[in-house]
Amino acid sequence: MLPDDFLDRFHQLCPDAQKDTALASFAEPKSVSFRVNQLQAEPEPVVAALVDQGVDPEPVVWAQDQDIAAFTCGPEQREALTHSAEAESGDIYIQSLSSMLAPALLTPASDDWVLDLAAAPGGKTILLAEMMGNQGQISAVEPVRNRFFRLKSNLERCGVDNTRVYMKDGRAVGRLKPESFDRVLLDAPCSSESRFRADDPGSTFHWNLRKVKECARKQQRLILSAFDALKPGGTLCYCTCSYSPEENEQVVSHLLKKRDAALLPTELPIDNCSPGITQWQDKSLPEELAHTRRVWPTADMDGFYLALIAKAA
């Protein structure tokens, strides 16, 4: 069972065209997705080795079109995949498809200086490093000690060597490194509503509206720090795996109020998405928020929110 408050808000937010699929996805087993880590492996032999182990990967066309070697498998193959030699060696990385959208949207160049402001366990950092051909430089920030060490070991296992890791509070980075980065990713700590499962009370146990507002306060400070760390002419991708407007459009709206930031159109290569909202309860939000995107969950994909933001040159 999902919390009534959550369901009530979800019904208000999710467009009718997406609703049946989205609601069903909270109850149905999800497929499992992974990427071949092209920093150290070629997709063809890796997929062949997995097929030999009884795994049946289906290529994800929109991702492959962007040179991301992404595949999905049936939910019953999760165990085999998780315990495969390929996962252990870092030749594959198990990652939700929606998580792959953020690096794909940020499109770092190979000589960029990139900041990943909330980085552990590192799935998006590893994809950014792959897109940069292990060139340029990534600074990956994670303040929570055990998660910091998990990030570090994931980067090492996956052959990432253009990244320095920092155990720091992301809220301080904009002040410590102002106007320093060409690209910033803020995959903000959030209420994780997209991980809710109807058959797992543990997935919703800590959720309530007070917690959503607490996350929003931290996100508002993080997004200002992320923006301050951007060079003029740079681009910031803000994302969460929450549906709550307080953690999404209202955080971006806070940035628009406090800084000279401009929203860029967020073009996604998928159909299960809709524009960001411009009205929530009794509050009107800036019209430009329609440039941001809400990703709705399906049997293959988790929910997500993405905004692409520019700092004037």
Binding site residues, ligand SAM, CB under 6 A: 99, 117-124, 141-144, 147, 169-171, 187, 189, 222
Supply the minimum distance, in Å, between the C-beta of residue 282 and ligand SAM: 29
Cα of 169 vs its chain's centroid, Å: 19
| DSSP string covering 192-245 | -GGG--TT-GGGTTT--HHHHHHHHHHHHHHHHHHHHTEEEEEEEEEEES---G
Considering the complex, state which of residue 187 and residue 246 has its C-beta at the smaller distance from ligand SAM.
187
Q: At its nearest, how many Å lie between ligand SAM and the CB of residue 277?
A: 21
Closest CA to 293 of 249, 234, 235: 249
- Catalytic center residues: 241
Give every strand in the sheet of 70-73, ordered side by side.
58-59, 70-73, 32-36, 92-94
- Residue 41 or 118 with smaller CB distance to ligand SAM: 118
- Residue among 23 and 308 whose Cβ is closer to ligand SAM: 308
Q: Shortest distance, CB of residue 225 to ligand SAM, whole angstroms?
A: 8
User: In this chain, which residue has its C-beta nearest to ligand SAM?
Assistant: 170
267 annotated to bind ligand: no
In the complex, least distance from residue 132 CB atom to ligand SAM, rounded to whole angstroms: 16
- State yes or no: 142 annotated in a binding site: yes
Q: How far apart are CA 70 and CA 97, in angstroms?
A: 8
Is 211 marked as binding a ligand?
Answer: no
The tokens for 101 are 């959208």
Q: Say if residue 85 carries a ligand binding annotation.
A: no
Q: What is the dihedral of CA 279, 285, 288, 289, to 10 degrees?
A: -60
Annotated binding residue at 169?
Answer: yes
- The angle at the Cα of 147, spanning 128 to 36, to the nearest 5 degrees, equals 35
Residue with tokens 């990385």: 93
Rank residues 236 and 285 by Cβ distance to ligand SAM and give the closer one: 236
| Binding-site sequence positions | 118-124, 142, 169, 187
| Binding-site sequence positions for S-adenosyl-L-methionine | 118-124, 142, 169, 187
